[in-house]
Structure 1
Amino acid sequence: MKALVLAGGTGTRLRPFTHTSAKQLIPVAGKPVLCYGLEAIAAAGVHDVGLVVGDRGDEVREVVGDGARFGLRVTYVRQERPLGIAHALLTARDFLGEDDFLLYLGDTFVTGGLGELAERFRRERPDAQLLLSRVPDPTAFGVAELDESGEVLRLEEKPERPRSDLALVGVYFFTPAVHEAVRAIRPSARGELEITHAVQEMIERGLRVRATVGSGYWRDTGSVEDLLEVNRLVLEDVQPRIDGKVDADSSVVGRVRIAEGAVVRGSRIVGPVIIGAGAVVTDSYVGPHTSIGEGCRIDGSGIEYSVVLRDSRIDGVRLVTASLIGRNVTVTSSARPPGAQQLLLGDHSTVRVAG
């Protein structure tokens, strides 16, 4: 079995970050979202991976390389325009050949691994096997209707009146039968070849489509809120380790990982927290569920429940919370009254906030 991982797309909900970086490369708990998926694929015993990339393909190559560090063999597949998930299957047809394959959306985060799902697919080998999750608002997703045995009766893409609360979560297993279905569908109203339409075509042709309702945690990390929540979840399992320098005037409480080359002076760090290599935290408070990227500077400030990407600086700000701060960003205080700040800042930004 092969895997096809989608790492293209425009990431409109994460603008302005995706103007300068692929959305799958935004880090949570110090590691790009894409890497969690690649590690899960390797752990499931799938090692031949096609990585579908778009305009940010060079950045993805820089992070993933040939896949060897994940235990994978990676082949890059260029999708000239993001015309839908099913279109990506057409683009990768030569790579997929006549093999069964796992289709994985690169900005998906799933706990519990993929091994049990992959083994079930190998054992039962339906024409398609889908991973589903119950969601509070099914109108924002592809939605499945199942019978009592787990067979999929119908799929709808972002329906106004959903028949269930079971959403597609970006993990699919297919036999080569899907390729004929993909060739049979037409673009949707938004101009894309929808994977939901392809799977519905398989159902209408009488092919066997099964689903598993996941019991673990799942997020589509396409929004700031979801990225922060995934960061929180991953940090809950961080193992405390201090490889950097912490002076005697500082206190470190709970699960905190301080990378080699990082320096903490006169500060209080309350985990779970990750502080990246080369970062310097001075006279500051870094609170729970915060990831500080490599080379950052936090001076005389407070921050919690946030992600700060590499080489950014926060100086003299009383409290930053629930924020995603891009690369090479500068946040400084102003003369306005103090208070907590919630920020959405793209790469290379400079902003003045109340200190």
Structure 2
Amino acid sequence: MRIIIPMAGMGKRMRPHTLTVPKPLIPIAGKPIVQRLVEDIAKVCHEPIEEVAFIIGHFGEQVEKDLKEIATQVGAKGTIVYQEEALGTAHAILCAKESLEGKVVVAFADTLFNADFQLDTNADGTIWVQRVEDPRPFGVIKLNENNEITDFVEKPQEFISDLAIIGIYYFRDGAYLRDELQYLLDNDIKDKGEYQLTNALENMKNKGTKFIPAVISEWLDCGNKNATVYTNQRYLEYIKDEEGLVATSAKLENAVIIPPVYIGENAKITNSVVGPHVSIGNNTSVYNSVVSNSIIQENTSLKNGNVANSMLGNFVVFEGRQSDLSLGDYNTLAE
């Protein structure tokens, strides 16, 4: 099994947090979004993961090293592939054409999920979906009486289906997918000016490929600050019974901790109330503050604050305000 992760986007809706790091490396409950994604896909695949191919922009040597380490942690080889220009989802996936062999999961890196199924790897293809109240903003699928997908419909304005495509796909034959994507580029077949994966899916279906749905229990978005803070909250609820959420090297002095929380290595919490639903990164200090429903990254200092629904980046210094915050790396804000 191989996992292909397109993640070359600029993450503009997550600025200022994506000015210094790619969005998929922002932490959720102590681990980067993309690491959570890889680990969760591995859990529902009952086969070993051979390779994880990350399709990226030129993010730098350290990011590439971190991504390869994420692959190593699920027992896989990490491959770095570059997407030089944004030409659509089909083009992005095809950048990793050398890795499109055998069984493949394609997962776009701004989506996390909770699922209680095991992937049926004998199926031709599987589209991961969730039921939504309002399907109009999404791509949706239609099913026949055999639970096979008959149609892919983009942003239907009249009700067709409430099964929204979340951006994760399984293909039993990666080489077949590669050929269909290449066909779109070779024949300049575009939709709204870009090469789209849905066009390849439609062509494959018309040739007899049987796609089935995998319905997840919860779909979590990391597209902007508020959505990411909410995803952090939900993830902490998922893993609240795991050991090690508060590092043994963390120093807690006159601190009230309201679970679930994640507190990283060598963090210092002094004269403060932290939680619920807070993630605090390594080497971060919180003094004389109240923090709830927030993500505070590494090497940051928070003093005399009362913050909620907030994201503070790395190497931030924040003091003395009550706020709903979104501060990127290396910012200082003090009264």
- Interval of TM-score (by shorter of Structure 1 and Structure 2): 0.7 to 0.9
Distance 2:57 2:8 in 1: 5
Q: Which residue of 2 aligns with 1:158?
A: 155
Q: Which residue of 1 aligns with 2:121?
A: 121
Change beyond 3 A, Cα 1:269–1:103: same
Q: Which residue of 2 aligns with 1:81?
A: 85
Once the two structures are TM-superposed, the CA of residue 240 in structure 1 deviates from its matched residue by 7.0
Once the two structures are TM-superposed, the CA of residue 57 in structure 1 deviates from its matched residue by 5.4
Counting only pairs closer than 5 Å after superposition, residues 1-355 of structure 1 correspond to structure 2 as 1-43=1-43, 44=45, 45=47, 46-56=49-59, 58-65=61-68, 67-97=71-101, 99-112=102-115, 116-117=118-119, 120-122=120-122, 125-126=123-124, 128-161=125-158, 163-174=160-171, 175=173, 176-185=175-184, 186-189=189-192, 191-214=193-216, 216-236=217-237, 237-239=239-241, 257-317=245-305, 319-333=306-320, 340-352=322-334
Distance 2:137 2:61 in 1: 31
Gaps of 5+ in 2: none
Q: Which residue of 2 aligns with 1:337?
A: none
What amino acid maps onto 1:322 in structure 2? N
Could you give the per-residue CA deviations for residues 114-161 of structure 1, whole angstroms, max 9, x where no partner exists? 7x11xx132xx32x3211111233233222122232222221333444
Distance 1:91 1:20 in 2: 24
Bigger drift between 143-152 and 301-310 goes to: 143-152
Bigger drift between 139-148 and 305-314 goes to: 139-148
**What TM-score, normalized by structure 1, do the two folds share?**
0.83
Once the two structures are TM-superposed, the CA of residue 22 in structure 1 deviates from its matched residue by 1.0
Distance 2:260 2:178 in 1: 45
Distance 1:72 1:279 in 2: 31
Report the number of matched residues: 324
| 1:196 counterpart SS class | helix
Change beyond 3 A, Cα 1:239–1:266: same
Gaps of 5+ in 1: 243-256, 335-339
Distance 2:230 2:261 in 1: 14
Aligned alpha-carbon RMSD (Å):
2.3
Counterpart contact for 1:51–1:75, Cα < 8 Å: yes
Could you give the per-residue CA deviations for residues 25-79 of structure 1, whole angstroms, max 9, x where no partner exists? 1111111111122223444222222221213253432323353222111222111
Distance 1:113 1:86 in 2: 28
Distance 2:145 2:60 in 1: 42
Change beyond 3 A, Cα 1:113–1:14: farther
Once the two structures are TM-superposed, the CA of residue 320 in structure 1 deviates from its matched residue by 0.6
Change beyond 3 A, Cα 1:240–1:218: closer
Change beyond 3 A, Cα 1:160–1:350: farther
Once the two structures are TM-superposed, the CA of residue 310 in structure 1 deviates from its matched residue by 0.7
What amino acid maps onto 2:307 in structure 1? V
What amino acid maps onto 2:215 in structure 1? V
